[in-house]
Amino acid sequence: MFELKILLFSIGCLTCSGLFEDQVGKWDWLRKHVGPVKHVNFGTIAGGNIFVGTASNVLASINSRSGKLVWRKILQEDERGVIHSLSRRGNPILVTGSDPPILRSFHISGALHWETKLPSTPPKDSEQEHFIDAESMTVVSVYTSAKDVVVSQFSYASQETKTSEPISAPFARLSKCTLVDNSIYVCLVDQTLKVLALSDLARGFISSDLKTDASALELKGLPEGRFVAVRSKVSTWLYGVSAKGAELLRQFDDLTEITNFKHNDVVYQVLAKRSESSCWTLSVLDSKFSEVSELRGEICIPNVFSGIRTLDVMGLSKKDAAVSYRAVVTTDDAGVLMFQKEGRVVWSREEALSEVTNVQFVDLPLSDIEAHIEEEFTEKPTGVLSMLIKRIYSQLQQLATFFEPKNPLAKNFGLVRDNFGFHKVVFMATKVGKLFLVDNLSGDILWSRYLPNIRPFSNGQYITVTQRSTAHIPHPPVLSIFGRSPSGGSRVLALNPITGQILDDQHLDITITQYSLLQPNEEFLKGVVLYDETTRRTIVYPAKANTNYKHYLLTVGKRGVADGFLLEDGKIDRLWSIHLAAGSEVEGVAVKGQENVHSQGRVLGDRSVLYKYINPNLAAIISRSAQQNSVFVYLIDVVTGSIIYQTVHRKAKGPIHMVHSENWFVYSYINEKMRRQEISAIDLYEGFEQPNDTFSSFSSVQPQVEHNTFILPDYIVQLKDTVTEKGITSKLILAANAQGSILEIPKAMLDPRRPVNPTMLHREEGLIPYVPEILVPPQSILNYNQSVARVRGIETAPSGLESTCLVLAYGLDLYYTRVAPSQNFDILKDNFEHYFILVVLAALVTATYVTRALSARKALKAAWQ
């Protein structure tokens, strides 16, 4: 117990980087998202909260006036959390998962009302669809197998299920089917509509010919009434369906979207037709299909969003009892917007930011004046006088800006570099193909661009490469993004990250799995070597880049073979190949990033130095074998293929997360035997001899390995280390847990040399005694109560100050902050009392003069005596 107290005390001291309460929101921000909207529920009252079910498996309540998130329920990320259906009105009732499907009803307040398993057992190999009727509290489930459909109706009120006999429908699996009005099941088969009335299942499907020769038809069930729309590229046919079959009602041309709404028991059809490039006319038809002219409206989508994907309309009564409506539009780039009838955008949400895959911090360019000064040094000399005038002019300007009121820590301060390097911009790429540039201080979107023809690679990520930074003033910065092209191959887009201007757009005919940067050319542009693991092809982008290179490459196949290659001027040679543990699958590979390591060694208690083993070619591979129920860890030198260290954890499983930096490797896994999260740290040391200045994999010694494992009381979903400019500041391991907190764990806590029985030397060195469990105090939670849902990644970047590191956590939410792992040693504290010190100094100066005068008077008096 006493030891525990010491430990707590020492943790408290190590992580004094906690926040003060008045610093909340000063340099951090959180953007909460819900994901791309799939289902819309207009709620109980007009103007109240609406509910959305999203593709990210989130049910959310959104204020219909402001668009603000009221509450959200985050379901499981896997298929058990998939929202199949959401009621259209009233309390949100939703069906999630398929094995078994679960029906849940929530209160408007966010509390769970009730929850039940859908009792019907689906036939084998069947696809399922669920349709909710909120008014009668029934769920119609349709199970489609290769030969027939089974319809099951569950009533919550009576808790009864009626399951039909299999109805022969060999077409249903391959065609688009839907249920309208919770009573008629409609399938579109080639040019025929097949209609099944739930009230008369025995009758089976009734076919009605569409009498059209258009191909590539699509079926859409309209939300209200017994209507379906059949759409081809140019035309849209509106059908009324009943137990007797389908009946053509109207034909429309060039519609973007058709939907309907019910108000005062009248079903109004809403047609959206493109009028201008980003505007759509909404025409509303009444029950007799004649247009209601006073309900005609036009909606214009702001140009930060792409075109309409879905349209949902809710009818409402105005104060004078006239009918009006509101429309919720989702766009192809995952935006969601609420429109009034008059066409005003009530609110919009950028939900593409919930699917960020890649994040890159970009330095801002110098301000114009500083750039001007820089230019003086690059220009050719043009004569003494003109240069003198130029210099005086620019320095006068500098003087003028110096007196302009500005605060380098203030949030919006122009897109120029600040003194401390705190202000950067963050480039983000998202799964839906939308790119963003976000200001890191305010979280504002500076530009966004939707690219319909670029998607992440099969690992769910793009490759983003900074080819030229903002430091080379006359040349624009270049950031390239490589992604999969939907038509096959890859696509590369080179753009200026500050302005968003596209500099190059190319199609490459290889699938990129790895890349490496080349030496910059005379215009400071770094080329990229791209490598395709499956076809073993390599190309250089841009094609005219410097092609003299020699790069070592590690490829790790899913089936547990690691290969080392040498890429030399376009040739590929296999150097070595290692078979990892039999039957194991690779869970992850970690190589070191580009970073500075300031200290070459550690000073021990007896003043001797233990030198670090800093091998830039070291890669860590972790694989897991399901049959052996073990996790295997390898540290491999990529150049020589020698295994520097390997270990195994029996009865362990993933998810595995890892951080590889300097001379250490930290990874987390779950110990199944003890049922706890463990985090393991490996430190590598060369020994007490000073190593050579430059490291060589061919001549290096086998390092001393220190390895120790610790327990964490939380489940880790992501690990990352902090980076600083020069690598002097000690490191923090940032661990995001399942609750959405980001824990700061100092590397000193994850030091494998922590002694179980500390001696004087250990104490002299400052090692914390070993205790198995790492307790993280709440003061060390980086994002305090601003929980970040489903963290998928944490990106860190150095600021201009050595003490400070910029952190962006992304997942469903975005959270940005900055962290000082060794406290702010190079910047005044933000509560530094400037005025107090000024007052004290002024008081001292006055006191000096006053006392001088007084003492002079006294001396004079004394002299007279």
Partner 1 sequence: MTRLPHSILMFGVLLAAAVTSADEGASGDAEYTIEGKLAISPHQDNFTDILEATQILVDGGQHIGFLKDDYSFEIRNVVPGSYLVQVSHPLINFEPVRVDISSKGAKRARRVNNVQPHLNNHLPYPLKIKVLGLHNYFQQRETWSATDFIFHPMVWTMGLPVLLIMVLPKMMSAEDMAQTQREVQQMQNAARMPAVPELSEMMTSFLGQRPPQRGGASNTNNRNRNERIRHD
In our burial notation (b when 16+ CB lie closer than 10 A, e otherwise), range 788-800 reads: bbbbbbbbbbbbe
Establish if 113 lies at the interface with partner 1 (CB under 8 A). yes
- Give the DSSP H or E segment for 858: helix 834-864
Establish if 87 lies at the interface with partner 1 (CB under 8 A). no
Given the structure tokens 């890892």, which residue do they identify?
658
Determine contact, residues 625/584, Cβ cutoff 8 Å: yes
Q: Which stretch binds partner 1 (CB under 8 A): 67-75, 240-248, 511-519, 644-652?
A: 67-75
Q: Which stretch binds partner 1 (CB under 8 A): 13-21, 302-310, 503-511, 806-814?
A: 13-21
**What are the contacts of 196-203 at 24+ separation with CB within 8 A?**
196/149, 196/151, 196/167, 196/169, 197/242, 197/243, 198/140, 198/151, 198/153, 199/243, 200/243, 201/151, 201/164, 201/165, 201/167, 203/243
Instruction: In angstroms, give the least distance from the CB of 410 to partner 1.
Output: 22
Q: Which residue in 238, 248, 241 sits closest to 226, CA to CA?
A: 241
How far, in Å, CA of 1 to CA of 638, rounded? Answer: 46
Instruction: In angstroms, give the least distance from the CB of 442 to partner 1.
Output: 23
The residue (of 138 and 741) whose beta carbon lies closer to partner 1 is 741
Determine contact, residues 364/423, Cβ cutoff 8 Å: yes
The residue (of 57 and 330) whose beta carbon lies closer to partner 1 is 57
Instruction: In angstroms, give the least distance from the CB of 797 to partner 1.
Output: 24
7, 58, 62, 75: residue in contact with partner 1 (rule CB under 8 A): 75
Instruction: In angstroms, give the least distance from the CB of 766 to partner 1.
Output: 22
Enumerate residues 6+ apart whose C-beta is below 8 A from 289: 238, 249, 250, 269
Q: Which stretch binds partner 1 (CB under 8 A): 75-83, 342-350, 391-399, 599-607?
A: 75-83
Residue 571, class by beta-carbon neighbours within 10 Å (0-12 exposed, 13-18 middle, 19+ buried)?
exposed
The residue (of 6 and 396) whose beta carbon lies closer to partner 1 is 6
Q: Which of residues 694-713 bind partner 1 (CB under 8 A)?
A: 711, 713
* Number of residues counted as binding partner 1 (CB under 8 A): 51
31, 44, 74, 758: residue in contact with partner 1 (rule CB under 8 A): 74
Q: Tell me the Cα Rg of the chain.
A: 33
Determine contact, residues 786/813, Cβ cutoff 8 Å: no
Mask 615-654, x = binds partner 1 (CB under 8 A)? Answer: ----------------------------------------
Q: Which residue in 128, 4, 110, 118 sits closest to 59, CA to CA?
A: 110
Determine contact, residues 171/194, Cβ cutoff 8 Å: yes
The residue (of 286 and 714) whose beta carbon lies closer to partner 1 is 714
Establish if 739 lies at the interface with partner 1 (CB under 8 A). yes
The residue (of 275 and 823) whose beta carbon lies closer to partner 1 is 823
Determine contact, residues 374/391, Cβ cutoff 8 Å: no
Establish if 25 lies at the interface with partner 1 (CB under 8 A). no
Q: Which stretch binds partner 1 (CB under 8 A): 111-119, 245-253, 685-693, 853-861?
A: 111-119
21, 253, 265, 693: residue in contact with partner 1 (rule CB under 8 A): 21
785, 846, 848, 851: residue in contact with partner 1 (rule CB under 8 A): 785
Q: Which stretch binds partner 1 (CB under 8 A): 180-188, 278-286, 684-692, 733-741?
A: 733-741
44, 281, 398, 779: residue in contact with partner 1 (rule CB under 8 A): 779
What are the E-state strand segments in 533-608? Answer: 537-541, 550-556, 561-568, 571-579, 584-591, 601-603
Given the structure tokens 């059809």, which residue do they identify?
269
- Give the DSSP H or E segment for 621: strand 618-625
Q: Which of residues 116-145 bind partner 1 (CB under 8 A)?
A: 117
**What is the DSSP code (8-state) at residue 693?**
S
Establish if 76 lies at the interface with partner 1 (CB under 8 A). yes
189, 327, 781, 809: residue in contact with partner 1 (rule CB under 8 A): 781
Establish if 735 lies at the interface with partner 1 (CB under 8 A). no
Cross-strand bridge partners of residue 106: 112
The residue (of 523 and 773) whose beta carbon lies closer to partner 1 is 773
> What is the side-by-side order of every strand in the sheet holding 618-625?
584-591, 618-625, 630-637, 643-650
715, 728, 730, 827: residue in contact with partner 1 (rule CB under 8 A): 715
Establish if 842 lies at the interface with partner 1 (CB under 8 A). no
Instruction: In angstroms, give the least distance from the CB of 640 to partner 1.
Output: 39
77, 127, 286, 595: residue in contact with partner 1 (rule CB under 8 A): 77
Q: Which stretch binds partner 1 (CB under 8 A): 248-256, 312-320, 488-496, 737-745?
A: 737-745
Q: Return the SS3 of 821.
A: coil
104, 417, 657, 731: residue in contact with partner 1 (rule CB under 8 A): 104
The residue (of 21 and 606) whose beta carbon lies closer to partner 1 is 21
6, 8, 16, 146: residue in contact with partner 1 (rule CB under 8 A): 16
Q: Which stretch binds partner 1 (CB under 8 A): 400-408, 591-599, 624-632, 738-746?
A: 738-746
Q: Which stretch binds partner 1 (CB under 8 A): 101-109, 144-152, 280-288, 459-467?
A: 101-109
Q: Return the SS3 of 194.
A: strand
Report the largest interatomic distance among the alpha carbons of the chain, rounded to a whole angstrom: 132
Q: Which stretch binds partner 1 (CB under 8 A): 269-277, 422-430, 673-681, 742-750?
A: 673-681
Instruction: In angstroms, give the least distance from the CB of 753 to partner 1.
Output: 21
Establish if 81 lies at the interface with partner 1 (CB under 8 A). yes
The residue (of 73 and 341) whose beta carbon lies closer to partner 1 is 73
Per the structure block, which two tokens stand in for 66?
A: 């402001």
How far, in Å, CA of 833 to CA of 544, rounded? Answer: 57
Instruction: In angstroms, give the least distance from the CB of 537 to partner 1.
Output: 40
Establish if 831 lies at the interface with partner 1 (CB under 8 A). yes
Establish if 95 lies at the interface with partner 1 (CB under 8 A). no
Establish if 110 lies at the interface with partner 1 (CB under 8 A). yes
In our burial notation (b when 16+ CB lie closer than 10 A, e otherwise), range 128-151 reads: bbbbbbbeebbbbbbbbbeebbbb
Establish if 107 lies at the interface with partner 1 (CB under 8 A). yes
784, 793, 800, 826: residue in contact with partner 1 (rule CB under 8 A): 784
Establish if 156 lies at the interface with partner 1 (CB under 8 A). no
Residues constituting the chain: 865
Q: Which stretch binds partner 1 (CB under 8 A): 109-117, 318-326, 443-451, 602-610?
A: 109-117
Per the structure block, which two tokens stand in for 534?
A: 């499956």
Determine contact, residues 684/613, Cβ cutoff 8 Å: yes
Of the CA atoms within 13 Å of residue 354, those in its CB half-sphere come to 22
Determine contact, residues 668/677, Cβ cutoff 8 Å: yes
How far, in Å, CA of 347 to CA of 359, rounded? Answer: 26
How far, in Å, CA of 76 to CA of 97, rounded? Answer: 9
Establish if 100 lies at the interface with partner 1 (CB under 8 A). yes
The residue (of 269 and 787) whose beta carbon lies closer to partner 1 is 787
Q: Which stretch binds partner 1 (CB under 8 A): 160-168, 395-403, 460-468, 735-743?
A: 735-743
Chain centre to alpha carbon of residue 19: 25
User: Quick count: other Cβ atoms within 10 Å of Cβ 770?
Assistant: 16
Under the rule (CB under 8 A), what is the footprint of partner 1?
16, 18-22, 24, 70-71, 73-77, 81, 100, 102, 104, 106-107, 109-115, 117, 674-677, 711, 713-715, 717, 737-740, 772-773, 778-779, 781, 784-787, 831
